[in-house]
Amino acid sequence: MFADPLTVITLSNSVYNEVGIPLITELYQSAGAEVTLLAIPAPRQAFILAQESADAIIVSPLGLNQRNPSYLRLPTVISSVRLMLFTGRNDLSWPLHDDLTMGVLRGIVPSDARDKLPAGLTLVEVNDLSQMMRMADRQRVDVVLMPYTQGLATIRDLQLQRVRPLGPALSDVPMYHYIHKRHQNLVAPLSATLEQWSESGYLQERHRQWWEPLEARVNQR
């Protein structure tokens, strides 16, 4: 047992915290360690990782350890981020046509998602996901691009009535857990537990129990 809890950082206002925090807490407890989860905004996260003051990061895509080589990636995929379109217009269907407006989070339009969209879309950059979904609900933009579960949770939390998912997933980004190399002794037991959870279906079931009620609530409106 570790004398002090390890600090695991996560993004503030991320809906994934609803399932990710209890899951990561359970993961570390299986290795005899306790954790303290610290929710921080994205710009602050980059600073904390550069300073190496966090013991771990709850989930992040491939490449974090290239920018921050002191953090080790556990090999098992914990979750994935599906980017999808949402719209408040009843008359839109997939595939989209040109001459539409699309709300996006400022500076974030993955190339694999962009390649599946009409070249004539006009991008409207916003700073906040909730603001973006309100814009879709009020039809100030035709569609918005955001993570599927984050979109469902935003519809739930803001009690939006018009917005719905539209079309297939445009991108599916695998997410991994990262831990600082000063805790390298935890890599093997944490990796073994995650692998066992994945092979047994436990990891997938925990996520399904989380997102299915979100999906059902939106579909029942």
If you compute the radius of gyration of the chain from its CA atoms, what whole number of angstroms results? 19
Supply the range of the domain harboring residue 191: 6-79+173-219
Q: What is the pTM of this model?
A: 0.88
Tell me, yes or no, whether 164 and 88 share the same domain. yes
Provide the domain count of the chain: 2
- Residue 184, pLDDT > 80, answer yes
DSSP H or E segment with residue 217: helix 202-219
With 90 as the cut, is the pLDDT of residue 177 above it?
Answer: yes
In a domain, 146, yes or no: yes
Helix (H) or strand (E) holding 176: strand 164-180
Same domain, 68 and 177: yes
Specify the pairing of strand 143-147 against strand 79-87: antiparallel
Domain shared by 151 and 86, yes or no: yes
- Tell me the mean pLDDT in the region 70-84: 95
Largest CA distance in the chain: 59
Across all residues in the chain, what is the average pLDDT?
92
Same domain for 87 and 167?
Answer: yes
141 with 89, same domain?
yes
Per-residue pLDDT tens digits for 94-127:
999 889 999 998 766 667 777 888 888 999 999 8
